[in-house]
Structure 1
Amino acid sequence: MTLPFKVVAFDMDGTFLQDDKKYDYHRFNHVFHRLQDHGVQVVVASGNPAQILQQYFTEYTDQLTILAENGAQALERGRQVLASTLNRNKVHEAVAFLQQDLGIAPALSGSKQGYFPRNTSPEFMEHMGFYYPKHVIRDLLPLPADDIFQISMLVKDDAVPGIKTKLDTKFHGELDITPSGNDSIDITKPGINKGWGLTQLLQRWHLTADDLIAFGDGDNDLSMLQLAKYSYAMPNGN
């Protein structure tokens, strides 16, 4: 049987993972090897940092591709093949605005590790600490000597639209502001999203969007769902 697609990309939280942040390993193992038999590339496409995604797939990191940081970083079979980081001046400006004007303590996702502010709440630590097993707590300004992929913050769902509007008004398209589900908002480089990252990978593999099937549930999945010829939004999607 010939499959109509050559690349399958899926989001993690709210799509692939169960509510307890786990997945059916035996079922995935069966499907994964069936896809491999058909020569299909498997892409884990998430807003999360690569470090936590690799922990989910320790037995598969040398066989699949991880598209992390909402498309800003890609690891193909464990080797980085794509990295697009934020402008440092914009990171400084965004962190200052969040902390001083909005009273929000953000997390910085760096190429080396995550960075959390000193005044972080227990709720923030529990949530963000899960996604950044490797992190340090420090003053975010001046910025750490690291390349920053994205800025993330924990915001109650009912406050997300208002915070997004304030950030959009402040930065006028100089930064992309995207709700990513789980009461969080991500700030990324303009034009850098899962769709962009997948486009780079497709070009690398000499394939097109017609060869792609994608699954997602959140606003940060829209770009890849719109890109893929075959796309599926989860029933729990927003």
Structure 2
Amino acid sequence: MSVKLIAVDMDGTFLNDNKEYNRARFAELYAQMKQQGIRFVVASGNQYYQLISFFPDIAHEISFVAENGGWVVSEGEDLFNGELTQQQFNTVIGHLLTLPHVYIIACGKHHGYTLRHYDDAFISMARAYYHRLELVDNFANLKDVFFKFALNLPDNLLDDTMSSLAGLFKGIMIPVTSGHGSIDLIIPGVHKANGLRILQEKWGIDNSEVLAFGDGGNDIEMLRQAKYGFAMANAPEKIKQIASYQTGHCNDQSVLDVIENVLKKEPPFNE
């Protein structure tokens, strides 16, 4: 079995700590991937509009599992949208607003929405990840398709908040970590692995033909589902333990190194 699909998380994986990647080297590898019939998929918790900005020349011909699987786009075509009901949205937002240390972004298909009164530092950070960000006075009467909430909070409150939210929102949303001081609330079953499954069904690709890279809690299902699940050296220990393989640090172009090995049919990709 050869690799037919390569899926990359972005922050802490494909991107280095400066939110950059070696574009010239990737362009060469991508040309070879196309020649060998290998699909390239960006699988990230980030907003679709932010993700396409990293691939201006090829966004129209690759696929995106954006918003942690909430929105799947292939070659510019919408394949899937998760969607909360209005009642579910109100239930979740009603509780989140009682948590004083939590900044909230409601992630919709057309925009991310956050509160105007939040401090400037948070809003500036949010704009880096949400190229379409609306500042609102409250979360009432927003007209959009909502599939995720992104939460920002102090690191020392992360574990306790994760535990309490998991219990409170059981059956509606599941909390996953997406980096330092951040939690994504995702719809149950609507994760990156589900997004990849949708694409795999479209293309007739088996899990044994999938290579995935990740470094965070929102990558767990994807790393387990893919035969070649690679955790980054900078990933937490629990992510390394569930992944079948490991590679180097995100600052060392390690994803590109592994892709090069795939193209050259080097171990473990020479079976």
Residue 127 of structure 2 corresponds to 129
User: 1:175 aligned to 2:173?
Assistant: yes
1:140, distance to aligned residue in structure 2 (A): 3.2
Aligned residues: 236
Written as runs of structure 1 = structure 2, the 5 A alignment for 1:59-208 is 59-208=57-206
Instruction: Extract unaligned runs of 5+ from structure 1.
Output: none
**How many Å separate the matches in 1 of 2:145 and 2:205?**
30
Deviates more, 1:73-82 or 1:41-50: 73-82
**How many Å separate the matches in 2 of 1:111 and 1:40?**
28
- State the SS of the aligned residue for 1:56: coil
**How many Å separate the matches in 1 of 2:121 and 2:72?**
29
**How many Å separate the matches in 2 of 1:123 and 1:225?**
33
1:126, distance to aligned residue in structure 2 (A): 1.9
Residue 19 of structure 2 corresponds to 21
Contact 2:101–2:154 (CA under 8 A) maintained in structure 1: no
Deviates more, 1:112-121 or 1:223-232: 112-121
1:185, distance to aligned residue in structure 2 (A): 0.4
Contact 2:47–2:131 (CA under 8 A) maintained in structure 1: no
| Percent pairwise identity | 30
TM-score (norm 1): 0.95
**Displacement over 3 Å in runs of 4+:** none
Let me know the Cα RMSD of the aligned residues: 1.4
Residue 188 of structure 1 aligns to which amino acid in structure 2?
A: I
**How many Å separate the matches in 1 of 2:28 and 2:211?**
18
**How many Å separate the matches in 2 of 1:203 and 1:75?**
14
- State the SS of the aligned residue for 2:127: helix
1:83, distance to aligned residue in structure 2 (A): 1.2
Residue 74 of structure 1 aligns to which amino acid in structure 2?
A: V
Instruction: Extract unaligned runs of 5+ from structure 2.
Output: 237-271
Deviates more, 1:10-19 or 1:71-80: 71-80
Deviates more, 1:196-205 or 1:92-101: 92-101
**How many Å separate the matches in 2 of 1:22 and 1:218?**
18
Residue 127 of structure 2 aligns to which amino acid in structure 1?
A: G
Contact 1:114–1:135 (CA under 8 A) maintained in structure 2: yes
